[in-house]
């Protein structure tokens, strides 16, 4: 029997809506939801069948038998594993208090369950991966608007000019966004792409600037100077909605385009030309703040300057610009109920110091890497148990050895994942999650021009003895004495609870897999109707919150130390075939893109005697790896680049094991090297050395 199921992809964090065809219980076809994506899906999404039926996955609960990371496991029943975890957690809490528990996650829309469990147990230490991703961008956005990085959407369909800083939209890859980008370019939108290397996205640009590594902030200061000096900004918008413009004018006075050229390598005349062009196209322009931007110690201010450029050009809450993402309440609708709202907030302060020691950081999920100090030193109190939910910090964060030294102080590490990751392999217990086609998930809100409720529906039975999150957290909660906080027996019961008061039922999702909460998008009035969550209610070019915490609203530019000959800034990024460290073991994707290589400027490589495809050694602070060189003129001479996620050390990953190299390992000592204002890890502040490897020294590894 054939049937069609609307669900959500899980091959990356975009979670595109999909339609799955199932025949006699077997998934045979996956495509993008035709109501949103017109059937389009990326290569990763199409490889979802291979993930479910071919990849090596945890097949049942596992308890470690030997040393951590040693790969000795005992396969056990769910009852045995859950009892074991609950007993160990009770012991830790009885001895050290509930605040000794830490939980981290990959992020996303389905976090009510893990947040509720940790909150119900009395720990404030819930965090996610964002210090390795978009935290600088998020904090910069908060400092300007009081709104975070996910509180804006970018109206590419009506945009006249888009500026991207390494935001490689066509390889990252959000299918809907990529489609809109190509449609906009076909309709005449201009694209300026700025990066240390050329990319697929950059190849579509009318203007490509190969910028010197680490000088994004200098470029933006030069652009802001030009926009203000030539009065190219939206004076009415700036006068009505901003605080601190005079301070900005004084700050950028010395940062001329000529000054910026000397640091970035971008000709002053081109900087001026871009500013004038953008002014002609405003307000339908977007300086995209990206997800990560470049990762240096001044990345917060580089990101903040991107937001300021949008503000100066009036590109806020306007068609073709950046639009404040709307939720149910913005359309007079009730939102989803959450389990966490029914649980009191824990009294203890966070172990990462966010919210009390580091008052300028958003306390919502804090900063993951700051928890390692508490693990090692018991300051401000001991952390003794860690639940890792779909998160792989040993792949995402630098200095594996330092991370393991901290993790070894813990009494218990529990991993919930559908895959074998570096951190999963280092755990004491693995609770295997069902694959995304094998499970139902809680309903979630997707904010946007028009908000919607979205649902992941189970398409097939689990291939192995794996379970969905809603079942695992319910069972753990019951064993830990907080089952009252998970008052449901089935996922349908949970869905009905979430939808109470909304006027919708689970049956409303059958037709399309989602429900839109309005028929037509609305924009807030730019005369009086804009809503910013800052103390002043305005866009704060001068941020009282930053300055109260001891940081400047406008930081002066500091030149970076020059990189010695033979050393480079190691840039890392995405490819359309792989999702960070998630997909390297997928048989289909491995066949298309089996290993990462190291991009090196061809002229520089020639002087070093390196030829295309030869093995080179890359090293930093005693960490070494071998990788094949890819020579190209389309990368800055001071930079090298690789695709992130390779160099895996888990032996059961037969396709990914020991293939390529792990870029994050080159940032030795990097856990303590982070942007002091934004909080994000400054990966690119640690230069790497590259040298040719003699044939006798070995193959790429």
Q: What is the pLDDT of residue 701?
A: 38
CA distance 557 to 561: 13
Q: Supply φ then ψ for residue 567, to 5 degrees.
A: -120, 155
Mean pLDDT of the chain: 96
pLDDT above 90 as % of the chain = 94
Average pLDDT over residues 79-84: 98
pLDDT tens for each residue of 94-128: 999 999 999 999 888 899 999 999 999 999 999 99
List the structure tokens of 649: 């050390």
pLDDT tens for each residue of 424-459: 999 999 999 999 999 999 999 999 999 999 999 999
- Specify whether the backbone of 146 is left (phi greater than 0), alpha (psi in -120 to 50) or beta: left
Q: What is the pLDDT of residue 75?
A: 97
CA distance 690 to 631: 13
List the structure tokens of 136: 């600088």
Asked whether the beta carbons of 441 and 469 are under 8 A apart, the reply is yes
Average pLDDT over residues 670-686: 94
Average pLDDT over residues 460-489: 98
Higher pLDDT, 564 or 259: 259
Q: Tell whether the model's pLDDT for residue 697 goes beyond 70.
A: no
Tokens 């969905």 found at = 468
Q: Which of 682, 593, 692, 661 is nearest to 295 (CA)?
A: 682
CB 413: neighbour CB atoms within 10 A? 21
CA distance 270 to 361: 36
pLDDT tens for each residue of 577-592: 999 899 999 999 999 9
pLDDT above 70 as % of the chain = 99
Tokens 């000795």 found at = 72
pLDDT tens for each residue of 152-201: 999 999 999 999 999 999 998 899 999 999 999 999 999 999 999 999 99
Per-residue b/e over 217-251, b at no fewer than 16 CB within 10 Å? bbbbbbbbbbbbeeebbbeebbeebbbbbeebeeb
| DSSP assignments along 196-245, one per residue | SB--TTGGG-SEEEEPPTT-HHHHHHHHHHHHHHTT-S-HHHHHHHEE-H
List the structure tokens of 334: 């009730």
List the structure tokens of 230: 């030539």
Q: Binning pLDDT at 50, 70 and 90, where does residue 695 land? A: low
490-493 contacts, C-beta under 8 A, 24 or more apart:
491/440, 491/442
CA distance 109 to 15: 9
Asked whether the beta carbons of 418 and 58 are under 8 A apart, the reply is yes
Q: What is the pLDDT of residue 699?
A: 45
What does DSSP say about strands 412-417 and 385-389: parallel, antiparallel, or unpaired?
parallel
Q: Which of 533, 534, 541 is nearest to 237 (CA)?
A: 541
pLDDT tens for each residue of 195-240: 999 999 999 999 999 999 999 999 999 999 999 999 999 999 999 9
Average pLDDT over residues 309-317: 98
Q: Tell whether the model's pLDDT for residue 686 goes beyond 90.
A: no
């Amino acid at each position: 029997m054939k049937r069609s199921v609307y669900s959500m992809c899980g091959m990356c964090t975009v979670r595109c809506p999909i339609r799955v065809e199932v025949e006699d219980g077997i998934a045979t076809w996956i495509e993008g939801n035709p109501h949103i994506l017109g059937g389009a899906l990326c290569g990763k999404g199409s490889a979802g069948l291979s993930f479910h039926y071919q990849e090596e996955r945890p097949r049942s609960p596992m308890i470690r038998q030997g040393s951590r990371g040693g790969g000795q496991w005992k396969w056990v029943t769910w009852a045995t594993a859950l009892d074991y975890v609950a007993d160990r957690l009770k012991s830790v809490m009885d001895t050290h208090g509930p605040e000794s528990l830490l939980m981290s996650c990959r992020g996303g829309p389905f976090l009510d369950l893990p947040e509720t469990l940790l909150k119900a147990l009395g720990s404030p230490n819930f965090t996610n991966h964002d210090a390795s991703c978009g935290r600088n961008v998020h904090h910069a956005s908060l400092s300007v608007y009081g709104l975070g990085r996910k509180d804006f959407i970018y109206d590419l369909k009506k945009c006249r000019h888009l500026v991207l800083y390494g935001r490689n939209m066509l390889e990252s890859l959000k299918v809907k966004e990529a489609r809109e980008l190509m449609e906009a370019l076909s309709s005449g939108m201009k694209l300026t792409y700025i990066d240390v290397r050329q990319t697929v996205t950059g190849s579509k640009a009318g203007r490509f600037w190969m910028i010197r590594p680490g000088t994004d902030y200098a470029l933006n200061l030069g652009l802001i100077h030009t926009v203000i000096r030539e009065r190219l900004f939206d004076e009415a918008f700036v006068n009505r909605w901003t605080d601190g413009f005079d301070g900005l004018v004084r700050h950028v006075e010395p940062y001329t385009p000529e000054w910026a050229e000397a640091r970035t390598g971008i000709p002053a005349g081109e900087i001026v030309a871009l500013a004038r062009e953008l002014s002609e196209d405003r307000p339908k322009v977007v300086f995209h703040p990206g997800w990560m931007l470049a990762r240096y110690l001044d990345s917060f201010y580089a990101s903040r300057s991107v937001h300021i450029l949008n503000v100066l050009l009036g590109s806020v809450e306007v068609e073709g610009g950046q639009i404040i993402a709307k939720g149910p309440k913005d359309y007079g609708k009730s939102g989803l109920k959450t389990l966490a709202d029914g649980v009191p907030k824990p009294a203890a302060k966070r172990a990462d110091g966010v919210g009390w020691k580091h008052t300028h950081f958003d306390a919502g999920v804090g900063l993951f890497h700051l928890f390692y100090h508490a693990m090692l030193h018991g300051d401000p109190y001991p952390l003794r148990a860690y639940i890792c939910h779909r998160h792989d910090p040993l792949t995402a964060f630098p200095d594996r050895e330092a991370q393991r030294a901290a993790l070894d102080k813990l009494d218990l590490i529990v991993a919930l994942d559908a895959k074998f990751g570096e951190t999963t392999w280092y755990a004491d217990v693995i609770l295997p999650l069902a694959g995304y086609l094998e499970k139902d998930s809680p309903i979630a809100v997707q904010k946007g021009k028009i908000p919607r409720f979205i649902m992941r529906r189970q398409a097939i039975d689990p291939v192995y003895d794996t379970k969905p999150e809603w079942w695992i957290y319910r069972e753990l909660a019951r064993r830990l004495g907080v089952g009252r906080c998970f008052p449901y027996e089935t996922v349908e019961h949970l869905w009905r609870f979430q939808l109470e008061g909304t006027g919708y039922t689970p049956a409303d999702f059958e037709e399309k897999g989602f429900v839109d909460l309005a028929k037509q998008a609305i924009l807030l009035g730019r005369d009086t109707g804009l809503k910013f969550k800052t103390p002043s209610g305005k866009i704060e070019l001068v941020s009282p919150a930053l300055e109260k915490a001891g940081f400047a609203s406008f930081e002066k530019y500091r030149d970076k130390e020059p990189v010695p000959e033979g050393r480079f800034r190691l840039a890392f990024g995405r490819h359309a075939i792989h999702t960070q460290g998630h997909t390297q073991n997928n048989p289909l994707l491995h066949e298309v893109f089996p290993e990462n290589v190291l991009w090196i400027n061809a002229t520089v490589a020639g002087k070093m005697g390196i030829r295309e495809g030869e093995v080179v050694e890359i090293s930093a602070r005693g960490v070494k790896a071998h990788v094949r060189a890819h020579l190209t003129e389309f990368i800055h001479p001071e930079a090298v680049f690789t695709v992130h996620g390779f160099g895996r050390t888990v032996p059961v990953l037969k396709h990914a094991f020991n293939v390529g190299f792990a870029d994050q390992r080159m940032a030795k000592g990097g856990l303590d090297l982070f942007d002091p204002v934004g909080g994000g890890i400054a990966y690119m502040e640690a230069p790497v050395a590259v040298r040719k490897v003699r044939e006798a020294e070995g193959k790429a590894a």
